[in-house]
Amino acid sequence: MSNNVAFAEATTGLAFVLTLSKRQCNTLLRLRAAEAIHGKPKQPSEDPRAFEPRDGAFDKTSPAYIGIVQNDQLKHLLHRGLVFWFTNTKGQPHGFGGLTKAGELAADLLLEAGLTIEATNTLSILKRIGRM
């Protein structure tokens, strides 16, 4: 039995189907590359006075720079069980948690199929890169 209910529900209605747009593929690949280099995001402190530097996923020179990722893609990946958010003690979202196990596997399948960050860049992503 899957412990990722969102992924199970999103993929196994009548058959196993996982549909991702080119931008969603790009987002998964960028997140996978960032996690491979910098590790998984750490749960942020609930203490508002705590200073927490951001990790290398926010390094603009990295091809895995996730500042390029558009938040609207994260919402769709969340609904498919491919990414998650940390929650605070009240159960509210409290910091981006990164890829789920299903998200890691989906990104690995994209890489196995020969897709790369560069190959999945869309015009909107290239425009965002150009504005930096």
DSSP 39-107: -SPPPPPS-TT------GGG-TTSTT-GGGS-HHHHHHHHHTTSEEEEE-TTS-EEEEEEE-HHHHHHH
Q: Give domain limits for the chain.
A: 5-44+54-130
The alpha carbon of 71 is separated from its chain's Cα centroid by a whole number of angstroms, namely 10
The DSSP bridge pattern shows strands 93-99 and 83-87 to be antiparallel
b/e sequence 77-99, b meaning 16+ C-beta within 10 Å: bbebbbbbebeeeeeeebbbbbb
Q: Count the Cβ atoms, other than its own, within 10 Å of residue 104.
A: 18
Residue 15 has pLDDT above 60, yes or no: yes
Percent of the chain surpassing pLDDT 90:
21
Residue 86 has pLDDT above 80, yes or no: yes
Contact residues for 80 (Cβ-Cβ < 8 A; gap 6+): 6, 7, 10, 11, 18, 20, 102
- Which one has a higher pLDDT value, 17 or 3? 17
Percent of the chain surpassing pLDDT 70:
72
**Coil/strand/helix, residue 120:** coil
At 56, is the pLDDT very low, low, confident or very high (cuts 50, 70, 90)?
very low
Q: What is the residue type of 119?
A: A
